[in-house]
Amino acid sequence: MPSFVNREVRLLKHDNSIVKEDHLDKRWEAATGEVVDEVIFLGKHTAISNRPALTVHPIGVPHLREDEVSPAGGKPGWAAPPNPRIGPWLRLLKTIAESHNLLPEFEVTHVLSCIVYANVTTSRQAEGLHHDTIAILTLIPFRHRVSSIKYGIWVGHLISGYSLPMEDPGQSKAQGDIKGVGGTWKQAIKVAFETTSAAFPRGEVLAHLDNKSIDLDIVDELLKIN
């Protein structure tokens, strides 16, 4: 595996899928004796929307049960500590993207070091383009991006709607028992909160709820979770 050195940075070039590079930080330490502080994956793919974009995001599939298999890789029920660079990079990408008519994105996808995944999301039309105190844990896209960019805060995990799976919430709501809603939605929130807290041990963790994308009764119940 070819590697390149620039002061404290090590750049690795590999032929494997990134989602198959489990424990890359620990494997590097075992091979070289160097302790890894953070891991940054550089990737390139085509978005489902086929819309040109730049994106940075942490990794994890906290909503999956241990017996489930993620189609895109990752450890079920687990998420990496979000890298403190995500917030500053998101703001930098906004500037870069606007200069190329692209859209900065923050998304969640599938090592114990703090991790950030930086993607250049391309389409055929885009092939030629070459001190904070608060961490934000975000539930439901996309208006959270405005807060992250405007207020200069750290950025934690984003939990999309599909990462809050609820079993028959409609029936439970009709019975006035939102607490009885099954599914792994609470697990996903717990994992995201714990890993965000671990990444920013002296920071205050805020949850940004997008109540335009989620039922208000469910929002009320989420706010009660300790």
Architecture, CATH, for domain 3-223: 3-Layer(aba) Sandwich (3.40)
Q: Report residue 46's pLDDT band, with 50, 70 and 90 as the boundaries.
A: low
Q: What's the pLDDT at 177?
A: 57
Q: Which of 44-53, 71-80, 167-176 has the lowest mean pLDDT?
A: 167-176
Average pLDDT rounded to a whole number, residues 67-82: 79
Residues 119-150 pLDDT 10s: 544 333 333 333 334 445 544 334 445 555 55
Beta bridge partners of 61: 76
- Where do the domains of the chain lie? 3-223
Q: Beta strands of 164-220 (E only): which ranges?
A: 204-209
Average pLDDT of the chain is 70
For residues 196 and 204, give the distance between their C-alpha atoms in angstroms, rounded to a whole number.
10
Q: Which of 80-84, 179-183, 186-190 has the lowest mean pLDDT?
A: 179-183
Q: What's the pLDDT at 143?
A: 47
Average pLDDT rounded to a whole number, residues 33-62: 75
